[in-house]
Chain A
Amino acid sequence: MPQILVEQLVKTYQVAERRPGLWGAIRGVARRRHRTVRALDGVSFAIERGELVGYIGPNGAGKSTTVKALSGILVPDSGRCEVAGRVPWQQRIAHVAEIGVVFGQRTQLWWDLPVIESFELLRDIYRVPAARYARARDAMIDLLALAPLLDVPVRQLSLGQRMRCDLAAALLHAPAILFLDEPTIGLDAVSKLAVRDFVKRLNRDDGVTVILTTHDMDDIEALCTRVMVIAGGKILSDGTLEALRAQVTRERWLTVDLVDASAALADRDVVEIRRDGHRVCLAFDPQAIAPAELIARITRQHAVRDLFVENPPIETIVARLYAAHGGAAP
């Protein structure tokens, strides 16, 4: 039995529509027009203990709604959902005691209190025994380098510092599952690496199941063995990054640095994606033409300074997937 099981989850809600203009606003006072939005439209997946799953999708795709249903905050209209054998919204209190949640754009720390006092409050709220708390706290302080921050009121922390503290706060009660909702949003490069490093280690060493929603594909490439893509309330893809690529396109990119910037580079098997002075980027299908053969042909016809073959960036893959399913581009 998987640790997290979701079957045919549906959640709709009513959005009040504002009509444009002054007259629209006046009519809106008398009678509201409502539109039904299907935030989740039959979502199914299963996650085993210890997995690290990336959950991506354009804004408004249903990511947060899924996370809220899984954390017991939101009651879906229909479908089945079990986390560690519990239905989250039916046994909310028992359920949330065993999960950790981090919403990247918000903090669960108390704004006016020093960090350590927030930790102690969470210890009491989650009823963590003293010895277990001390162990978890010391481990977090060590792993996330929190020692200099403990006595600082939360409002004085930088975003990166706060995110490290928020990660620690979500883990003091040693949850078996961690939901991370855009944990690297707005962080500088160093802080992003620190967060990724920590999440990876947490998953590998402690076996914590992690579900990560993000718009940052570097997060996904650095961390996740499995990616679920959602758009318009439906799961479009679920598998490894390689499987996601294969599903969208077989395309590879060949980048060539020409000696002569003005040389025309036409070939029946390639599509030129962009040209920037001496540098030309070409897309090709490796099943239609072997890369070695293509390179040989081009170097025969042109004076080439340098070249390399790569996969299209995951951003491009995901954007194409969103576009193909009518989702808004992120």
Chain B
Amino acid sequence: MSSALRPYRAILSARFRMLLQYRAAAIAGLWTQAFFGITLIMIYSAFYHSSDTPPPIALPQVISYVWLGQALLAMLPWNADAEVHDMVRSGSIAYELARPVDLYGLWYTRAVALRTAPTLLRAAPMVVVASVVLPFVGAPAWRLAPPPSLTAAAGFAVALGLALALGCAMSVLINISLMWTIRGDGVVTLFTTAVSLLSGLLIPLPLFPDWAQPVLAWLPFAGMFDLPFRIYTGHIALAGLAGVWLRQAGWTLALVVLGRWLLGRGVRRVVVQGG
């Protein structure tokens, strides 16, 4: 078993080390996201202070939700793997097929590296800024609050792991979509829009209108950000934990099955390039 996984482990570790080199991008990203987070929080504070109707989610929960989204942004499958993009365009995907490994497994491994390495670089400083620095500089109301209980924290950790698994399955689908178009950017833009809107990155999902709630709840995107974040903030009660995990795992399975099928078809398309 360990020998069966050896290629994937090696590729994961190599990609991981390569991605960790992009420290400058991480620092730049930190600034952008801190700014973005504060802007979103100011907007939500203004809304909440000028509204009399009882909100579907409390302001401190929204604020923590926003910070988690900014800290974990790199985990969200919103873009294609630049390496895969190059491979599909240049035809070196032939090399990828000439390796004695399962192609889906290989691409999933790449996705895991792509979604974890930059997240590790960015999440910790972002969390420090949002939970320690903000109260220190006189904005305690804008801080990232700790989860209400240890059980919620543990439930969040599991849900975050499943969100990663789900996000990686979606990442592979985005990469596969590159095989159907020459530049690929158009389809990727569709993914970017859908993922950032429907996962809760831009607007926390509980703030969407009531009629949209059942739809949002059953799309795969909620499992990537919204559901784990609502566990963290206590918006989803502990009784709902198992349901969330099940939904995330079910969607992961479905996307993996879909991805495997599409990859098989896509490979047959691209290998003809370059006669």
Question: A328 → chain B, closest Cβ, in Å?
Answer: 12
CA distance A288 to B214 in the complex (A): 91
Query: B1 interface residue, CB < 8 Å from A?
Result: no
Contact status A124-B10, CB under 8 Å: yes
Contact status A106-B6, CB under 8 Å: no
Contact status A13-B91, CB under 8 Å: no
Contact status B14-A110, CB under 8 Å: yes
- Of B14, B21, B272, most buried by chain A (CB within 10 Å of CB) is B272
Count of inter-chain pairs, beta carbons less than 8 A: 78
Tell me the residues in window 1-34 of chain B with beta carbons closer than 8 Å to chain A beta carbons: 3, 6-7, 9-11, 14, 18, 21
Contact status A96-B275, CB under 8 Å: no
Question: A98 → chain B, closest Cβ, in Å?
Answer: 9
Contact status B14-A73, CB under 8 Å: no
Contact status A125-B274, CB under 8 Å: no
Query: B97 interface residue, CB < 8 Å from A?
Result: yes
Question: Which residue of B7, B94, B98 contacts A127 across the interface (Cβ within 8 Å)?
Answer: B7
> Interface 1/0s, chain B 263-275, versus A by CB < 8 A?
0000010011011
Query: B136 interface residue, CB < 8 Å from A?
Result: no
Residues of chain A lying within 8 A (CB to CB) of residue B11: 121, 124-125
CA distance A124 to B11 in the complex (A): 9
CA distance A164 to B103 in the complex (A): 27
Query: A45 interface residue, CB < 8 Å from B?
Result: no
Question: A136 → chain B, closest Cβ, in Å?
Answer: 16
Query: B95 interface residue, CB < 8 Å from A?
Result: yes
Query: B185 interface residue, CB < 8 Å from A?
Result: no
CA distance A39 to B3 in the complex (A): 39
Number of chain B residues whose Cβ lies closer than 8 Å to a Cβ of chain A:
25
Question: Which residue of B18, B99, B275 contacts A125 across the interface (Cβ within 8 Å)?
Answer: B99
> Interface 1/0s, chain A 83-115, versus B by CB < 8 A?
000000000111011010101001110101100
A interface bracket (residues with beta carbon within 8 Å of B): 20 to 34
A125-B97 contact, Cβ under 8 Å, with A39-B275, A106-B92 = no
Residues of chain B lying within 8 A (CB to CB) of residue A93: 100-102
Query: A49 interface residue, CB < 8 Å from B?
Result: no
Query: B90 interface residue, CB < 8 Å from A?
Result: yes
Stretch in A58-66, A140-148, A216-224, A270-278 touching the partner: A58-66
Question: B251 → chain A, closest Cβ, in Å?
Answer: 28
Question: B91 → chain A, closest Cβ, in Å?
Answer: 7
Contact status A127-B3, CB under 8 Å: yes
Query: A309 interface residue, CB < 8 Å from B?
Result: no
Contact status B3-A65, CB under 8 Å: no
Query: A117 interface residue, CB < 8 Å from B?
Result: yes
List, sorted by A's number, 9 A–B pairs whose CB atoms are closer than 8 Å.
A73-B271, A93-B100, A96-B97, A96-B98, A99-B98, A101-B94, A103-B94, A125-B7, A127-B6
Sample of 4 more A-B contacts, CB < 8 Å, known A68-B271, A71-B94, A121-B11 = A13-B272, A93-B100, A96-B100, A110-B14
